[in-house]
Amino acid sequence: MSKGAIVINDSEFETEVLKAEEPVLVYFWATWCGPCQLMSALVNATAKEYSDRLKVIKMEVDPNPVTVKQYKVEGVPAFRLIHKNKLLGATEGAIGKEKLLNFINTHLEQN
């Protein structure tokens, strides 16, 4: 299990996310997005903190239009929580640590 967030692209999405045994938090971001720069450290910290029960993936939106369209990402930063090919939850916009952890915990407890 990885200790940090894993950077992937459209071609790796099925293997890394849809076929993953554990739930996957996908973080959509862009290089030109100011709030995304602020969220990056939180995403990496979350990946380390939850490494025993959650896989964290980072996807840059511009080079990955297929996944962005499939998961209806309209703004960045955005998060999608996916488990066994099922979308468990979605949120868009910059959020603080407490809100992100609540988002993750709520959906992990339901599965």
Over the chain (111 residues), what is each successive 10-residue block's mean pLDDT? 83 97 97 94 95 95 97 97 95 95 90 64
How much is the pLDDT for 110?
73
d(CA 58, CA 29): 7
By annotation, the residues acting in catalysis are: 33, 36
Q: Which helix (H) or strand (E) holds 57?
A: strand 55-60
- Amino acid residing at 16: E
How much is the pLDDT for 1?
44
- Residue 24 CB neighbours (<10 A): 22
d(CA 19, CA 23): 10
How much is the pLDDT for 111?
64
Q: What is the pTM of this model?
A: 0.94
